[in-house]
Amino acid sequence: MYFPISAARQLATNPALPNIPSEPVISLASSPRKLLFCTLTRSAVAVWSGRPSALLSVLTRTPTSILNHGDNTDVWWSPDGNRIVIKTSESYLVLVSVEFNTGQAVYSSLTLPTNTARNFLPGAGEAIPLQSASLHFEGVVRVEGDLLSVSPRQHHMVFSTRDPPTIQRMPWPLDEDEERSDVGQPPLGYDTWLLNDIDFSWLIDADVYVAQISHTKVLDSEVWITSDGRAYFVGLRDEELDVNAPPEKQDDNHQHSPEEMKPNTHLRWHGTCIHDFQVPKWVQKRRRVEPEEAGTASIQDYEEPRRATSVAFNSKFSLIAIGTQGGEISFTNFPSEEGIIPKSQKINVPNPFNKRTGEVTALQWSLDGYVLAVGWKYGWAIFSVSGKCLTSAIGVNETLNEDKFQDVFMHGVQNLFWGPGNFELFILSKGIVPQKNDGQLFVIPFAKSATTGQHSPDNTRYAFLQMDDRALVYRGADQPDLSVINPESDVWQHIKIPQRYLALNWPVRYSSLSSDGRLIAIAGRRGLIHYSSTSGRWKMFADEEQEQNFAVRGGLLWFHHVLVAAVEVAKSYQVRLYSRDMELTSQNILHREILPAPVIILSIVDNSLLVYTADNTLHHFLIVPTTDSIKLHLCGSITFAGIIAAPSSVRMLSWMIPTVQKQIGDPVDDLSVATVLMVVGGQLILLRPRKSANQEVKYDIQVLADRIEFCWLHLRGVGALENSLWAYDAQGMRVWLNALSIEAPPSVDSEVKDVKESVKIPLDFYPLSVLMDKGIIIGVEHESSIRSNLPFVLFRHSTSSQLFLQHVLLYHLENSQINEAVAFASHYRDLVFFSHALEMLLHTVIESDSASTSNNVEEQNSNPNEILSTVIEFLDHFDASLEVVVGCARKTEPTRWRQLFEVVGNPKTLFEMCLSFNRLKTAGSYLLVLHNLEQLDENSTEAIRLLTRAVEGKDWQLCRELLRFLHSIDDSGHALRNALSQVDLGTLETS
């Protein structure tokens, strides 16, 4: 879903300013809104703009400050983006304020002639003037006890110390004329919690300190990595009062004002261990080494590879990624309120050459939560939310010239973060070459699936990729069959987004494709535009003010030629309808529908528009064409309160209506009978309607699968694929052939967390769409090229495809549904690769039967050839069965031929059938089978008969192949001479 493209660009991280020495960058941090980032060196901090990548301000500490307070070691932004916190080597916090001057320009542009200025148009996101930023020292805070980690919050900052091991909280300093922003809240004091086995009884080992603090604003919780390498999910909660205390004692507690009470009197840290491991017994039993003896104990040093080194929160999918000392990565769900330890998933890191990765140095999820960027000491990688490795680079070829090779981030990563829109990954390289201090910062461009921003059925019908400045649409579905399965075919249409729109409204947030793939809609920071591949023209707002007056929030969808857009206008929320045939203006809006809350997601099923809003309500609109326009008619709405805990986590929405309701029902009643399908976080769920005694509709929730990344629902499928549900979970495609027939759990409180799918299709690539009419799954694989004559790495993606026909057919045949299998296969019998699909089906059955026979896993009374017999019976319904059998045999080990032909029949009989049907090439293939099974006549009678028929049909290519075959089976040449003496080859050259 995320794939690096082109080549990384390199930023000069040392500003060309006088009297500033060249120093390597030691840390990197992005601002909360990702529009800015700062780089830290030993003595300076610099603030940059992300787009365009330009230096805004630099603040250098004086030599006296360095001498008194120590070197810079790490840096953080405050949540409001107005402060930068710097940690020093001498346990000091240096506070730097960031002031923005909107009226002051950072860079002055040259005044160019009009004709020349046309060639210097602003790029994506570059039309907005650069915001001037000024850095000022705000103060220095001395922290006693060896400062370790800092976590800035809205009104305070939390930090940890080593000796003594504490967690401390300090409010932000306020100027005399500065007012508090948290009016009405008790003023915060300076709090200190000492780690011990009484107040922190949930620590597995209380004799530790907190080495790293990571905070998530969404849950107001954090993860601590302690010095023993364990990770804890932690929250600061109000401690409950003792109900058994005397009333006068409780009243006495409440008489004190917040200023008179100790700030941490009723606050206590509660935590759950989410990353634990057992230390080897020989380490547990070794003698404790005192500090003064540490120099003599080197032989007993033990580096635990399972120690946690980095964590990252994913609030969209309720996941925590944990990186370890040994380079491993695991995903863990958020713990429940009851403190139940979640089960972690170890992520497979592809490393075919067994190169060293080193420890995990950086982890960061994309803003949409779909991918995780991982930095190791000796490499980097991108993983999907379910653990699929999309791209990885662990080291480079040792034969490269290190002096000329510029992409040093391939050797290792110190830090990284995603830029706005997740189209760029900023990487701070490890800097293994000392003289290459300048140029440690790299930006890798990415292409991503459009479903990461707009998960609609139409966006999954075609493979649809979104880049920083263009859209890529897969057009192989409109090409001949061979073009679809040929990876070298150029079947991607590149559609350039107008530069004028991107200059002001970058980055692209929503991309939507019509059901026929001909219309595209794009929405960025403000406004929207749309494109028709038929005319090749974009339509934009002629009035820029109208464009900037609204922003798309919730998505874009096409209904034939009408664009449905969920927008936010001056803090009000609307659904608007635009026509492709009319110019984009506020006067040409076909319909406006006012909503009470922001839209989370839109979905169109037939002529129904489903709108799910932030107040946990599903609205059902009917799209009604009129004589001169089109409008929305509200059929009903229902709340999911108590069912969906976090509305913002809903990623996909659709529904399935019973056939009877479709045919004769009133659309107003659809909402009360429809089975609603949602992807909430990573869970694929069904919401089944149930009417209570008072006719009120309630929903029972059923979890179909977990760790689902994308979902396809085909209501108008082919044969058995109608109402089929397709979901991808990083291991493969899971298919429920009739989602309407999925059985409900035995009871409402049933804990069924996974419903077995009908078909499981393993995939080696990442799928983007399913071409139903061609029986193919289309996806993308990443490729990187490192050449000795180039100083950089080239990234590209290639198209991959896989047939799914054989998997669906095997499901039917394993359930003895031969008629259903024949009906399903009949829809695809005209495809060029239909015989190949049947051949793969037969090969799969032979391999599985052989494996079960060799492992003795079949039951005593079962027939190992039962499924094979069913498959052969199915193949007999198609003219290609003879070719399929022999084609499969030639691709299978000869040791399994006897098992195959015991069921299919005598190959001599099949050979005779090929001759009778005049399928001479197929008959030639059976000759090899007859030879290996030692069923050929001594005089090669079968070969001579086939050669005679080939001469009569003037199939000279087959004649040559038969002569070569006769020569290969008899080195003496007797068989070849015998055949030549009996067959008149005419003018065929036999030499």
Identity of the residue numbered 374: V
| Amino acid 244: pLDDT | 47
Nearest-angstrom CA–CA distance, 638 and 633? 16
CB 795 within 8 A of CB 782: yes
Identity of the residue numbered 551: A
Greater pLDDT, 808 or 977: 808
315 contact partners, CB below 8 Å, separation of at least 6: 216, 218, 219, 369
| Amino acid 12: pLDDT | 79
pTM: 0.90
The string of pLDDT tens digits covering residues 573-591 is 999 999 999 999 999 999 9
Buried b (16+ CB within 10 A) or exposed e, 556-571: bbbbeebbbbbbbeee
Nearest-angstrom CA–CA distance, 35 and 205? 41
Nearest-angstrom CA–CA distance, 14 and 564? 48
Confidence of residue 112 (pLDDT cuts 50, 70, 90): low
Q: Mean pLDDT, the chain, as a whole number?
A: 85
| Amino acid 246: pLDDT | 46
Paired sense of beta strands 210-216 and 759-762, if any: unpaired
Sign, CA torsion 246/251/257/260: negative
Confidence of residue 248 (pLDDT cuts 50, 70, 90): very low
| Amino acid 160: pLDDT | 96
Confidence of residue 398 (pLDDT cuts 50, 70, 90): low
* Cα-trace Rg, the chain: 34
Greater pLDDT, 123 or 854: 123
Using CB atoms within 10 Å of the CB of residue 934, give its burial: 0 to 12 exposed, 13 to 18 middle, 19+ buried. exposed
Average pLDDT over residues 367-388: 94
| Amino acid 262: pLDDT | 42
Report helix, strand or coil for 621. Answer: strand
Nearest-angstrom CA–CA distance, 324 and 335? 20
Say if residue 747's pLDDT is above 70. no
Confidence of residue 990 (pLDDT cuts 50, 70, 90): very low
| Amino acid 822: pLDDT | 94
| Amino acid 252: pLDDT | 40
Average pLDDT over residues 78-87: 95
559 contact partners, CB below 8 Å, separation of at least 6: 604, 607, 609, 623
DSSP strands (E only) in 775-930: 776-786, 793-803
Average pLDDT over residues 9-20: 75
Backbone angles phi, psi at 16, to 5 degrees: -80, 70
Average pLDDT over residues 823-836: 92
Tokens for 464, please give them.
């649809």
Sign, CA torsion 170/172/176/181: negative
Among 170-174, 245-249, 764-768, the minimum mean pLDDT is found in 245-249
**How many alpha carbons fall within 13 Å on the CB side of residue 920?**
19
| Amino acid 439: pLDDT | 62
Confidence of residue 241 (pLDDT cuts 50, 70, 90): very low
Question: CA triplet 185, 190, 196: central angle to 5 degrees?
Answer: 115
Average pLDDT over residues 218-233: 92
Nearest-angstrom CA–CA distance, 452 and 325? 31
| Amino acid 459: pLDDT | 84
Nearest-angstrom CA–CA distance, 737 and 756? 11
Sheet holding 231-238, edge to edge: 210-216, 221-226, 231-238, 267-275
The string of pLDDT tens digits covering residues 422-455 is 999 999 998 655 445 556 899 999 999 999 998 8
State percent of the chain over pLDDT 90: 51
Q: Tokens 């070849």 sit at which residue?
A: 976
Cis ω for the linkage preceding 52 (within 30 of 0): yes
| Amino acid 344: pLDDT | 87
Residue 69: other Cβ atoms inside 10 A: 20
Say if residue 285's pLDDT is above 80. no
554 contact partners, CB below 8 Å, separation of at least 6: 566, 567, 598, 599, 600, 601, 602, 611
For 346, 420, 460, 462, the CA distances from 368, given in Å and listed in that order, are 22, 11, 17, 21
Cis ω for the linkage preceding 164 (within 30 of 0): yes
User: Which of 315, 437, 425 lies closest to 8 in space, CA to CA?
Assistant: 425
Tokens for 585, please give them.
């203006």
Say if residue 870's pLDDT is above 50. yes
| Amino acid 849: pLDDT | 67
